[in-house]
Amino acid sequence: MNSYKESDRLYRRSIYLSKHWISKYFPKSNYKFADIDIEKAQFFSQHYFFLSLLLSNSVDNVWSQYPACGNESKFKIKDRVRKFINILEVFLKNLVSKQIKLSELKFDVVVLSSGRHLKDLMPLIVSLKKNYKLLVIGKMEQQEERILKREEIIYFNFKNPYPYLSFRKRLRILLFFLFRSYSLKGDNFLFENKLWKQRLLYLRIQQFPAIAALLEVSDVIFKRAAPKLLITSTTNDVFAASFTLMAKKNAIPVAEIQHGAIAWQIDYELIFPDYFLVWGKIPANIYTGEARKIIVGAPFINKPVVNTAYYLKRDKPTFKILVLLSPPYGYLASYAKLENRQSTISLIKHLQILSSDKFKITIRSHPSYPLQKDLEGIHLESNFFISSDRDVEKEIENNDIVITGATTAGLIAILHKKPLFYYDNSWLTENFSHPYVRSGSAINVSDAPDLLHNYIWDLIEDKNKQKGQKSSQDIFIDNYFKCFDREAIKNIETFIKNFC
């Protein structure tokens, strides 16, 4: 995109289309399950798909919940046969898997979360269990299941919603979408794209039946459990949206806990809780959605004890630099100023100016970003390393200097008072700046990567600049976080008392 205005126009177009494509272009196909329109729950992943088509007319993996800009999937005959067999296997497995009985118990609070978000919320869940009858719902790994079993907390592992339905309901849902036709009303060039036909098939065979199953199951759960509150780490993906919409239908308030750093109000076009539990004053000011904001602190972040008397000195034998890449990706893809690969290569090129004897550079990308794709065919000098360590805080601790993008890991670097630079490839940064930069917590090098090596040496050689940045980081931390860990959990428990 050539400007923020152009990027934003495409983003808004995709948002509108994602929310209304069924009711506007396929009005006879906006089916309801448990009185909720399918269209309302599918929005987030369709935003990824439509945005990719609008940006590049090609999509990487149409048969994915979150496709992205990329190379078109070119199916050979054998690939089509393999895909059909896989679809048939999944269909039969969903149909015949053993039914899991839902609990008949009543609960005070339902906690809805999955993956790393659920892992982060475990201390809160264990604490809530002491005073409330708790039900946890999510897509869980063995570690989380072990904790819940140990604490004797009732949970449903929803990696697949079909086992929670009777055979008859499963068959009805799976066949319902398979034998429905979708007739286009009106004109839109996106629906002429051959990828749309593949996408629509994916929706009919996989995503829409899964949404219908989730809506049916969540309706039963909320009617039986009758909770006073649903707490969730997100309300936008298909899984969370289905439960959130059903909670609202059953007059159950929904509270979403901030699960990562926020910088621009654009992020909150995509969520719809009744209450948004934020970490501090800065995110509260950024969020402009309809939910009521409650400042509670960060329940899964510990404030580290840092030696603020330590400063970098030129005579240090080796400086270790950690690059926390977070290129515009997924639903922020339209705001990329350059192709992400081009931007990443530019950053690496200018970091290679630094002496290989003096600097060791580790590149780490956001977990959802396919960094290896950007690095294909790129020669990295011997002092460059690609991180595979899952513990980002440990890596931040073990490095002297951090270069961050718009990522939560940048907040961790600020908490550790690391000399910090900000590098981003986004029109959002150019148009709105970024809290890390505005606060003085990071030096912005987004528009001048060719001068990055100079900026790094300037900061190393100037103790007063390092001291000033640390002072700015102190102020920023006080404004971004009301409190941490146990204190934040207590604030959330106080919030819950209003309902239970």
- 282-306 as b/e, with b when 16 or more CB fall inside 10 Å? bbbebbebebebbbbbbbbbeeeee
pLDDT at 80: 59
In degrees, rounded to 5, the angle at the alpha carbon of residue 20 between the alpha carbons of residues 173 and 62 is: 65
The Cα–Cα gap between 355 and 362 comes to: 14
- Please identify which residue in the block is written with the tokens 């150019």: 430
**Contact call for residues 150 and 169 (beta carbons, < 8 A):** no
**Contact call for residues 402 and 381 (beta carbons, < 8 A):** no
| 36-37 vs 32-33, strand pairing mode | antiparallel
**Dihedral angle sign, alpha carbons of residues 181, 184, 188, 194:** positive
Tens-digit pLDDT string for the chain (500 aa): 789 999 999 999 999 999 999 999 999 999 999 999 999 999 988 998 999 888 886 777 788 888 877 655 555 556 656 766 777 777 788 888 888 888 889 999 999 999 999 999 999 999 999 999 999 999 999 999 999 999 999 999 988 899 999 999 999 998 998 888 888 998 888 898 888 988 998 898 889 999 999 999 999 999 999 999 999 999 989 999 999 999 999 999 999 999 999 998 876 777 889 999 999 999 999 998 889 999 999 999 999 999 888 999 999 999 999 999 988 888 888 999 999 899 999 999 999 999 999 999 999 987 777 788 888 888 889 999 998 788 899 999 999 999 999 999 999 999 999 999 999 999 999 999 999 999 999 999 999 989 999 999 999 999 999 999 999 999 999 999 999 999 999 999 999 999 98
> What does the pLDDT look like over 290-333, one tens digit per residue?
899 999 999 999 999 998 889 999 999 999 999 999 888 888 88
pLDDT at 148: 97
The Cα–Cα gap between 213 and 191 comes to: 27
> Rounded to 5 degrees, what are φ and ψ at 134?
-120, 135
The Cα–Cα gap between 48 and 51 comes to: 5
SS3 277: strand
Tokens of 376: 């294909």
Q: Which residues pair with residue 135 across a beta bridge?
A: 110, 154
Q: How many helices and strands, by DSSP H and E, does the chain display?
A: 19, 17
Query: Longest C-alpha distance within the chain, in Å?
Result: 73
End-to-end Cα distance, the chain: 49
The Cα–Cα gap between 262 and 426 comes to: 15
Q: Which residues pair with residue 231 across a beta bridge?
A: 111, 255
Give the chain's length: 500
**Contact call for residues 236 and 44 (beta carbons, < 8 A):** yes
Q: How many CB atoms lie within 10 A of CB 363?
A: 22
Q: Which helix (H) or strand (E) holds 342?
A: helix 340-351
In degrees, rounded to 5, the angle at the alpha carbon of residue 335 between the alpha carbons of residues 329 and 338 is: 85
Q: In this structure, what is the dihedral angle of CA atoms 156, 256, 115, 259, given to the nearest 10 degrees?
A: -160
> What does the pLDDT look like over 49-79, one tens digit per residue?
999 888 886 777 788 888 877 655 555 556 6
> Which has the closest alpha carbon to 290: 280, 276, 301?
276
**Contact call for residues 361 and 456 (beta carbons, < 8 A):** no
Q: How remote is the C-alpha of 474 from its chain's centroid?
A: 27
Q: In this structure, what is the dihedral angle of CA atoms 166, 171, 172, 177, given to the nearest 10 degrees?
A: 140
In degrees, rounded to 5, the angle at the alpha carbon of residue 84 between the alpha carbons of residues 242 and 80 is: 115
**Contact call for residues 395 and 411 (beta carbons, < 8 A):** no
The Cα–Cα gap between 443 and 461 comes to: 15
**Contact call for residues 198 and 62 (beta carbons, < 8 A):** yes
Tokens of 27: 């009005």
Q: Kindly report the CATH number that applies to the domain delimited by 319-480.
A: 3.40.50.2000
> Rounded to 5 degrees, what are φ and ψ at 443?
-95, 125
Q: How many CB atoms lie within 10 A of CB 404?
A: 30
**Dihedral angle sign, alpha carbons of residues 105, 110, 112, 118:** negative
Distances (CA, A) of 78 to 87, 90, 96, 474: 14, 18, 27, 59
The Cα–Cα gap between 446 and 424 comes to: 5
Sequence ranges of the domains in the chain:
319-480
> Which has the closest alpha carbon to 460: 370, 345, 355, 341?
355
The Cα–Cα gap between 361 and 351 comes to: 8
Q: Which residues contact 43 (CB under 8 A, 6 or more apart)?
A: 18, 19, 236, 241, 270
**Contact call for residues 22 and 185 (beta carbons, < 8 A):** no
**Contact call for residues 270 and 40 (beta carbons, < 8 A):** no
